[in-house]
Structure 1
């Protein structure tokens, strides 16, 4: 009876509606073993993955189960509705055995409640380096402001407006893609040597990844200094150094900066990203124009005659003028590099699209594309062999990315200057484990195609790889060294414990650091598990 049962299960050629190979092609690492001969020892599962009948042993949790691939709210998600998987699978097998007789299915149990993305982003990341940099920036500014108000820092009291503009310059530097590209390049060139200790490298990686904390802290501080400057002017008995026009422009600038900061609050930024992006951009531009007007009015105002007289010499002598000029140049640089280019867009499935461009790109860089440059920009990892062309893999999760699948464009706007992010710092280390789920693989694929300083290993967890991502992406992964890669298709092998898998792989491959690209919950779990195992790990933060 047991043998007959095994044979019936062996003939069952789909797993929750997803077809798989009973007699796999050994040249493909994505094929699976026939279910008639499972090789299990305790909680370990043998998963075939090489082209020459070799195997890679992977840890597997007790809760692993087969699943049907489905569309996800975020293409990097690997979470599945696993509470009814085993019941449905057993019911399907019994239907074959009992000629479609009715099977009594056990009542479902309530799955544990998952935290929302917003909860993870706002509350569940703990005290991060980002928050630390934000607090340091705020503390230093508030200390200087308090000393100025108490009369212990006369320069700050007399130049409060300059401190406000200085904070705006600092936050602009922290978000300038040209400046950060140069900074990342310099760090890799100078610190990315075997003689530099791992502790220094990881500290610098944490700082660069979380530099947005300085951006946010300076934004809040600039508002505080501007309010302080206006209060001093209004309360002053001698208002001859100012005019109603200057005060009106200053209040307008304060309103715009405050609006921009409120729009960047995590709740609004997460739930209404397009609203945040447009408010941040257009209020920032308008505030910059008014800042120039404010400076010109302030420099040219002559209290004695209550008239305005502007000269070049007056402008050259004012620090505010030079700070504002630097801010203007930094903001203009990325917009001077935009251009409309011809693209080729293909959709291997309804869940993703592949966008191809001309020109090779260095591994680790990211790019921005837009259907309309004044409305929205979208950042994607770049896949390139560094020679003739490059491409982007876009998961269909929003209006723009879904339109790439339904109505592929022939032209898109791009910023020709690509920017650096966390993936660029892979070459800071000697050996790195890259962990990706879903379309997160796109930021790492270039490291598989190009020669790099770092020796990289890869874990990729996704659903229905060839169906969702296409044969081309699958073949790019297959070309890499089979001893340095683990591919886990959840439609075939069920949902794994990615955090546990990452820790075990990092230990087995003896890597220096782990870099993960997943959804907020997945990234958090991998980073926490690795840190608990004393393995440095980094993943995207909400303000990356």
Structure 2
């Protein structure tokens, strides 16, 4: 391999703006936090929501519901697809500085985590205010409301704690259970809480005239929608090696390139999303599933005949290739899966760099030949014979030689961050999953 020398990184201020701690995800998080902090300062000072004689419980409740509405709706599959559609419809003749920003659309998770966190902090203030009213025999609260709101607060804290990155990584199954079952329980208790408040105010008959009622209706529909498409479908699994399962589906759905489908063998407990690989001019789609934990390991070993699916195919980071004129795809191992549909469609001229263990032996000759047919100049790096490559240097050289506008990396968390951040430090637009909440 020839020696590849990287150019000097951009100046300090530029690199500071591209630092991992200032990615758009965290900027959105900080924005929502500061908006809420501003509201809190106003509430405690000029708005005077917290007087000793009466605390404005209704106004606090509205801000709580606004925060949780944003947290839930921004994760709704239809809304995600709409956001991607808007962002990726930007014309390719627009300046790159605009298109590279639009391609950050997948950082919307910063809105989810920040609004959920701030909603919980507001809820702590709300519960403390309720206890103040109750202990001082002020109007607007009774024992039933105290019990329900306390239960909600406990569940919210558990959900937030389990969603912390290190905890979520170590206890992923428990994180999923608390997020799903805990979230459903909180939504039900929010309904109970609203009914209790309206009953206490003798205004239950006017429930449809309240904003909270309609927001809860929207949130409930949002949560239920994916489950209306829950079905158990046939699955065909080929196992070219003990490391990977090449699965195929044909149940009347041909998802769009760059989307993902969630699979489960126990729909109430855990779901795992994998990139869809539709083939041009063919019905159905495929998934490439590598051994990367207990669930995938058991899946590959058992080769089930049926599996659960729900919701709709949902856009992922690979969709941003539509914004650019030329793309470098970087993949390691089964990260090739999300790349394949884009390579097959060839809507955006691209060059692939794929580092993996013996590709033909691991993924089968048919899949490798299919990739080579559409990517004759692809760099397929066999790590069994050549060791692990320096993907940053390979990405930079490919970017220069191919005259690409951006790099998309599909790999594990460490390698993705290494490639993306180093490309950004060199002034090259780069994108990859961010493992957000």
TM-score by length of 1: 0.73
Q: Following TM superposition, where does structure 1 have runs of at least 4 consecutive aligned residues deviating by more than 3 angstroms?
A: 124-127, 153-158
- Indicate if the aligned counterparts of 1:60 and 1:497 stay in contact, CA closer than 8 A: no
Question: 1:529–1:247: structure 2 CA closer, same or farther, 3 Å change rule?
Answer: same
Partner of 2:181: 282
Residue 218 of structure 1 corresponds to 115
Residues 1:356 and 2:248 aligned together: yes
1:9 paired residue number: none
CA positional deviation for 1:515: 0.6
Match of 1:271 among 167, 170, 174: 170
Q: What residue number does 1:315 align with?
A: 207
- Separation of aligned partners in 2, 1:225 and 1:369: 35
Find the counterpart in structure 1 of residue 138 from structure 2: 239
- SS of the equivalent of 1:377 reads strand
Q: For 1:96-125, what per-residue CA distance to the aligned partner results, in whole angstroms no more than 9, with x for missing partners?
A: xxxxxxxxxxxxxxxxxxxxxxxxxxxx94
Matches of 2:375 and 2:361, distance apart in 1 = 23
**Alignment partner, residue 429 of structure 1:** 324
What are the equivalent positions in structure 2 for 1:13-162 lying under 5 Å apart?
A: 44=2, 59=3, 125-152=20-47, 157=56, 158-162=58-62
The alpha carbon displacement at 1:446 in A equals: 0.5
Q: 1:378 aligns with which of 266, 272, 275?
A: 272
> Is 1:333 paired with 2:233?
no
- CA separation of 1:140/1:309 partners in 2, compared to 1, >3 Å: closer, same or farther? closer
Matching of residue 344 in structure 1 with residue 236 in structure 2: yes
Q: Flag the 1:481–1:259 CA change in 2: closer, same or farther, 3 A.
A: closer
Number of matched pairs? 414
8 Å contact kept, 1:137–1:217: yes
8 A contact 1:432–1:455 mirrored in 2? yes
Q: Alpha carbons of 1:460 and 1:202: their partners in 2 closer, same or farther (altered >3 Å)?
A: same
* Higher percent of residues as helix: 2
Larger Rg belongs to: 1
Tell me the CA shift for residue 170 of structure 1.
0.3
Q: Is the 8 A contact 1:346 1:405 kept in 2?
A: no
Distance across 1 between alignment mates of 2:313 and 2:92: 27
Q: Please name the residue that 1:230 is paired with.
A: 127
Unaligned runs of 5+ in 1: 1-42, 45-58, 62-123, 303-307
For residues 146-205 of structure 1, what are the alpha-carbon distances to aligned partners after superposition, in whole Å with 9 as ceiling and x for unaligned? 21012436599451011111111000112112210122112222x1x1232211222122
2:86 alignment partner, one of 151, 164, 186: 186
How many Å apart are 1:532 and its aligned residue? 2.9
Shift of 1:310: 2.7
Instruction: Give the superposition deviation at 1:353.
Output: 0.6
* 2:197 aligned to which of 298, 306, 310: 298
Q: Aligned residue for 2:8?
A: none
Number of the residue aligned with 1:458 = 352
Between the aligned partners of 1:486 and 1:181, the Cα distance in structure 2 is 32
Residue 253 of structure 1 pairs with residue 147 of structure 2: no
Aligned equivalents of 1:398, 1:491: Cα separation in 2: 22
Q: Is 1:469 matched up with 2:363?
A: yes
Secondary structure of the structure 1 residue equivalent to 2:360: helix
Q: Which residue of 1 aligns with 2:216?
A: 324
State the alpha-carbon separation in 2 of the partners of residues 494 and 240 from structure 1.
Answer: 71
Question: Counterpart of 1:6?
Answer: none
C-alpha separation in 2, matches of 1:239 and 1:450: 66
Aligned-pair CA distance for 1:332:
0.9
- Contact in 1 for aligned 2:92/2:323 (Cα 8 Å): no
Question: 1:394 Cα shift?
Answer: 0.5
CA distance in 2, matches of 1:468, 1:140: 50
Counterpart-to-counterpart distance in 2, 1:132 and 1:126 = 9
8 Å contact kept, 1:527–1:538:
yes
SS at match of 2:204: coil
Structure 2 segments unaligned to the other structure (5+ residues): 6-18
Helix, strand or coil for the counterpart of 1:459?
strand
Structure 1 residue 416 displacement after superposition: 4.9
User: Which whole-Å CA distance do the structure 2 matches of 1:165 and 1:240 have between them?
Assistant: 22
Q: Shift of the alpha carbon at 1:481?
A: 3.8
Q: CA deviation at 1:405?
A: 2.1
